[in-house]
Structure 1
Amino acid sequence: MPQGLPRRIRYAFVTQGLLLILAVVFGVSVVTLITRDALISQRLEVEAQAFWERRAGLRPPGQMPATNALQGYFRGQGEDEDAIPGFVRSLPEGMNYMYRLQRAILVQRRPDGVLYLVLQTRTVDRLMWSSAAAMILLGLLAALAITALTYRKSRGIVMPINRLAEEVSRWDPLQGEMSAPLAISAGAGDSGREVRALSSALHGLTSRVAEFIQRERDFTRDASHELRTPLTVIRVASDMLLSDPALPAHGRRSLERIQRAGRDMEAVIDAFLILAREGGVAPVSEEFDVREVALEEIDKAQALLAGKPVELALVGDAAPRLFAPRAVLGVVLRNLLRNACHFTERGRIEVEISPDAVAIRDTGIGMSAETLRHAFEPFYRADAFSPMGKGFGLTIANRLARRFGWDLVLESEPDAGTVATVRFTPANES
């Protein structure tokens, strides 16, 4: 089922949600860290300013800050550093943050001494990161809500298109037109109107395609049936003339050519009748011996080699049986044998039967790699001016083989001959 578009949209929204979550977490974390450092820096600056003002006599004298969170140290000019903790002595002037130790240290140097303020940031950190967690949670909830609403809206727009794609994928042109145009709910808005228009257009197209296929099928069937009557008359009349012992040799040769052409035409008509039933009523299947059908077609093909130094023989001891329309295999082999006879001027044509295939091997002119690529295309001929063949024998054989689940494979080299193999699938083996 064509679920590609909804799946891609779902993946896009999942990716968008994850990126949005990462952005929220990263953004809130950075803002929290900057805000924390700014608050700590401001507090220490205020404490330092108050200390210097007291020392300058601008404020009443007071003690150095000494609380659980804030500890102050001062070393005057020329005084010993022993009273100063070792971890702050070597710090540069300005704000120093020790995130692992959860401390912030302000160092200020003046002409009369150096001030050290050490702040324990555990309480500030807990407060700030708790606030950050709350903001992240609210941001995630908002992001999820927005993503869910947007996905629901997008899904509502896409689902009618997906349903229409499913209907188109299920439609078989050989089975008639597609079902009625897709019904879209009134809440779909502008997109619903567009999908309804597309659905109606596709429905009209399928109707025209179905009508065209039916006309083609009817024409093929009717024309094939109508052509049988004059062909029967030609065959009967030529048989009666050939039975006349007084018929001159040149007349006999002409009648034999007429009969061969009539048999070729009958083969084409048989193929057209079978192909005209594609998607409709299939020919009656039966269990039959592949070897018997091959022998019948070899016998019919002998007349095509009249006057040619070519031997036509059946090889292989296998005797597979198939459950399929007997006439179909006959038409396929007849077309392949006719091709082999037309393009083989001397040598040998072998029909080899194996347990799962029939191979027709000739010593004819062969085909180039370019010709092989186009061999199954209708009316394609490597030599457009050649009087042999009309260019659709292999096309008919290939279509019939595919119709019943067989594989037709060609192997050929120029001036080395061709091997055409009809391989039966296990489902068709008895």
Structure 2
Amino acid sequence: MMDETLRAEIEDYMSRRSRNPNSLPPATISVRGYVHVPGRGAENIPPELLRLNPGKYQLTLANIPYRVAVVDQGDERYVMLFNEMRQRQREELFLIYLVAGALIMTLVSAAIGWWLAGRVVAPVATLARRVDKARPEDEVPDVAKGFSSDEIGKLARVFDGYLRRMRAFMDRERAFTADVSHELRTPLAIIQGAVELMEEDDSLDEKQQKRIARVGRAARQMIDLTAALLLMAREKTSDEPVEQECDVCDVVRDVVEAHRYLVSATTNVEIDYRSRPRISAERTLLSIVIANLIRNAFTYTESGSVFIQVDDNCLTVTDTGRGIHEEEIGKVFQRHFKGSTSTGAGIGLSLVKRICDRYGWETVIDSTEGRGTAAQLFFIGNS
């Protein structure tokens, strides 16, 4: 919290100073700031602070502990101090109030609890039922309807206020998602359209055509990823329309063809459709999951084979590629985790896990470094 306060104070002072070079740094009981400009003197800055490099420190000045943040901007050096003693005093005072408040409430509750028990049970049960049925998307919350002005009524009105804030938050989130959707999809659509026009240009040589094809693949992947992220940003509710069924084999076939350019000349790809499962899911999200597993197999298999098998409730992708280190297996689904041989950004398998959690699927990865990897996608939620 102190570091956040220092950061906010420094940013605020930098902003004020950019507008008014004569603006003075903060000088309160808790926060004190300095700015040092070479050639203008530093008589008002404690010498201990002038020796500090940019960063965060803990120092004691005049027997007072401070949390210190030092930031350089151009030739200017900004130093901000936070009085830790004041913070500790506030924390101790808050703890005293908290303990005293808890003790007082316990004593009062014990003294009058027997008298209130009978009168409280029925209103609480009613409130619980209403809260259980209430939804943030309701136009006008009515949890407090019919309650008196006693404690239960106040609690009910608090729930109403909370639901209103939740509704406002959801409205802002929907508006944000819609705006982001427009701002992302429009330039991607323009790129995709430009690529399609250039692909029809017969005057381009083979090297240029390959580069354009690469841009087109990247644009299509970004379009799919954007759609997936926007879908994942929406809360899945029970009253949403039933999603159409997807043919897993069709998705696998499309994904393999779209990523075949990643297959090396010495790698053999074999697909075994033992079954033709159909599952209820957004095709874009299913394609994202399957594409991640297949793309990883194609990318990290420099020679050997990639075997793809589709069963009733399972998709298995086995390769003879680099494999994954034993210590990294348990981390591959963590966001932004990159293995020692990874060339990606560490988002793919994290997104796979989020999509699987949404539908109740399960992804299992078994790998031996230097020998290959087997990834299995179980459609448990659709069995």
Q: TM-score with structure 2 length normalisation?
A: 0.57
Query: Identical aligned pairs, as a percentage?
Result: 22
Matched, 1:182 2:144: yes
The residue matched to 2:182 in structure 1 has which SS? helix
User: 1: distance between equivalents of 2:162 and 2:188?
Assistant: 39
1:300 CA displacement: 1.0
The residue matched to 1:311 in structure 2 has which SS? strand
Matched, 1:154 2:117: yes
User: 1: distance between equivalents of 2:251 and 2:305?
Assistant: 20
User: 2: distance between equivalents of 1:192 and 1:419?
Assistant: 57
Matched, 1:215 2:175: yes
Structure 2 residue aligned with 1:294:
252
User: 2: distance between equivalents of 1:164 and 1:301?
Assistant: 55
Taking a change above 3 Å as real, the CA distance of residues 346 and 328 of structure 1, as seen in their structure-2 partners, is same
Q: Which has the higher helix share?
A: 1
Counterpart residue type for residue 402 of structure 1: D
Taking a change above 3 Å as real, the CA distance of residues 193 and 325 of structure 1, as seen in their structure-2 partners, is closer
Taking a change above 3 Å as real, the CA distance of residues 282 and 165 of structure 1, as seen in their structure-2 partners, is closer
Asked whether the 8 Å contact 2:199–2:213 carries over to 1, the reply is no
User: 2: distance between equivalents of 1:283 and 1:266?
Assistant: 23
Matched, 1:420 2:375: yes
1:247 CA displacement: 0.6
Structure 1 residue aligned with 2:190:
230
1:201 CA displacement: 4.8
User: 2: distance between equivalents of 1:221 and 1:171?
Assistant: 29
Structure 1 residue aligned with 2:87:
none
Asked whether the 8 Å contact 2:127–2:156 carries over to 1, the reply is no
User: 2: distance between equivalents of 1:168 and 1:402?
Assistant: 26
Asked whether the 8 Å contact 2:249–2:276 carries over to 1, the reply is yes
Taking a change above 3 Å as real, the CA distance of residues 391 and 347 of structure 1, as seen in their structure-2 partners, is same
Structure 2 residue aligned with 1:271:
228
Larger of the two Rg values belongs to structure: 1
Taking a change above 3 Å as real, the CA distance of residues 284 and 201 of structure 1, as seen in their structure-2 partners, is closer
Asked whether the 8 Å contact 1:313–1:349 carries over to 2, the reply is yes
Of 341, 346, 358, which residue of structure 2 is paired with 1:391? Answer: 346
Structure 2 residue aligned with 1:84:
none
Asked whether the 8 Å contact 1:351–1:359 carries over to 2, the reply is yes
Taking a change above 3 Å as real, the CA distance of residues 349 and 282 of structure 1, as seen in their structure-2 partners, is farther
Counterpart residue type for residue 374 of structure 2: V
Q: Which structure 2 residues correspond to residues 99-138 of structure 1 after superposition, within 5 A?
A: none
Counterpart residue type for residue 153 of structure 1: L
User: 1: distance between equivalents of 2:123 and 2:326?
Assistant: 47
Counterpart residue type for residue 267 of structure 1: D
Matched, 1:303 2:266: no
Taking a change above 3 Å as real, the CA distance of residues 164 and 238 of structure 1, as seen in their structure-2 partners, is farther
Of 389, 400, 414, which residue of structure 1 is paired with 2:355? Answer: 400
Aligned residues between the structures: 272
Structure 1 residue runs without a partner (length 5+):
1-148
1:158 CA displacement: 6.1
Counterpart residue type for residue 275 of structure 2: A
Matched, 1:351 2:289: no
Of 135, 152, 156, which residue of structure 2 is paired with 1:192? Answer: 152
